[in-house]
Amino acid sequence: MSSTAGQVIKCKAAVAWEAGKPLVMEEVEVAPPQAGEVRLKILFTSLCHTDVYFWEAKGQTPLFPRIFGHEAGGIVESVGEGVTHLKPGDHALPVFTGECGDCPHCKSEESNMCDLLRINTDRGVMINDNQSRFSIKGQPIHHFVGTSTFSEYTVVHAGCVAKINPDAPLDKVCILSCGICTGLGATINVAKPKPGSSVAIFGLGAVGLAAAEGARISGASRIIGVDLVSSRFELAKKFGVNEFVNPKDHDKPVQQVIAEMTNGGVDRAVECTGSIQAMISAFECVHDGWGVAVLVGVPNKDDAFKTHPMNLLNERTLKGTFYGNYKPRTDLPNVVEKYMKGELELEKFITHTIPFSEINKAFDYMLKGESIRCIIRMEE
């Protein structure tokens, strides 16, 4: 075990004290891991739009003070009682969802939605004892989606930690903890386009670009990007997108435009926006008889999906996905290997790298639409 095992560790963390206000660098105390938990030393983390969304707290229950962050790579510092698949020194990726290994979902080959460790954005404590492992002068600091990687050390449920190849560069593979796997898996694992097929990607943010990367890896010949911002097309070309449609440029529904472009519809469509209209368009633009549409974006809680039943009866398929249908512990190491073999290109997702002390810059870049992924280097 490490020399710090069983002890409280004092370290730096970027704490959000209130909604929408800059994070403050604080000295926090990080308690040792309890049964079934792991304490990680975070070496690299990145900013995902989900962090920004909950930091702004415009549509959710605010929970502050809090340590955000959920895309990261690090090294296991110590493990709690009963943890057998990890040991100190292992290289690992913490993930916002988990794999307990025992529930019906974990035992199913068709699901990755663990009953115990499925994402819970409202929980600011550990499952084990409903207590936080972070504190400042005795005041508990809330966790975020079980990861809280904007801290030099964090405590995570062992089922939410994937052990990976120690040769993999953590400053690159850390982005697999959330958005990239979500888009990539939506295409590769769920849409499953065949070589030479056509794929429409709705939304060309980080998740949509990852979905396009999945279509490129799968050998799709026509990858059509659909976005309301035409300037995104140039960047999307790097991810295999070779045609572009801006719905605002047409006086007919975009699904009709795509159907006319593709002689009846695309083979596959992946929706990555959260817009209910984009979801409907994605489904209605796939070809009858074999078309498959996959929904990735999270809609407004009051939205309702509306389409004519004949669209289903005409043998179109509608699917949803969560984290690209990847089981974190089982599948994430294999995605890392795909990168190590040169099959998956991660560098093109990384637009900025900054030191931990400048973490608020990452929020500025994302709010201005200047970054896909900004890597935050914990050790300066």
Active site residue: 37, 45, 50, 285, which one? 50
Active site residue: 4, 11, 29, 118, which one? 118
Q: Which two tokens stand for residue 84?
A: 């057998």
329 is catalytic: no
Active site residue: 37, 45, 48, 321, which one? 48
114 is catalytic: yes
Taking Cα atoms as reference points, which of 13, 4, 64 lies closest to residue 33? 4
70 is catalytic: yes
Active site residue: 66, 106, 174, 232, which one? 106
Would you tell me how many other CB atoms lie within 10 Å of the CB of residue 61? 8
Active site residue: 37, 71, 77, 271, which one? 71
Q: How buried is residue 145: exposed, middle or buried, by Cβ count under 10 Å (0-12/13-18/19+)?
A: buried
Active site residue: 114, 160, 181, 374, which one? 114
316 is catalytic: no
Helix, coil or strand: residue 239: helix
Q: Which two tokens stand for residue 100?
A: 């307990």
Active site residue: 174, 178, 181, 374, which one? 178
250 is catalytic: no
Q: How far apart are CA 377 and CA 380, in angstroms?
A: 7
177-201 exposure pattern, b = at least 16 Cβ within 10 A, e = fewer: bbbbbbbbbbbbbbbebeeebbbbb
222 is catalytic: no
Active site residue: 4, 11, 29, 49, which one? 49
Residue 92's H or E segment, with its range, is strand 91-94
Residue 156's H or E segment, with its range, is strand 153-157
Q: How far apart are CA 103 and CA 144, in angstroms?
A: 23
285 is catalytic: no
Taking Cα atoms as reference points, which of 161, 121, 148 lies closest to residue 11? 148
100 is catalytic: yes
Active site residue: 91, 268, 287, 373, which one? 373
Active site residue: 77, 97, 100, 181, which one? 100
84 is catalytic: no
178 is catalytic: yes
Kindly list the catalytic residues.
Answer: 48-50, 70-71, 100, 103, 106, 114, 118, 178, 373
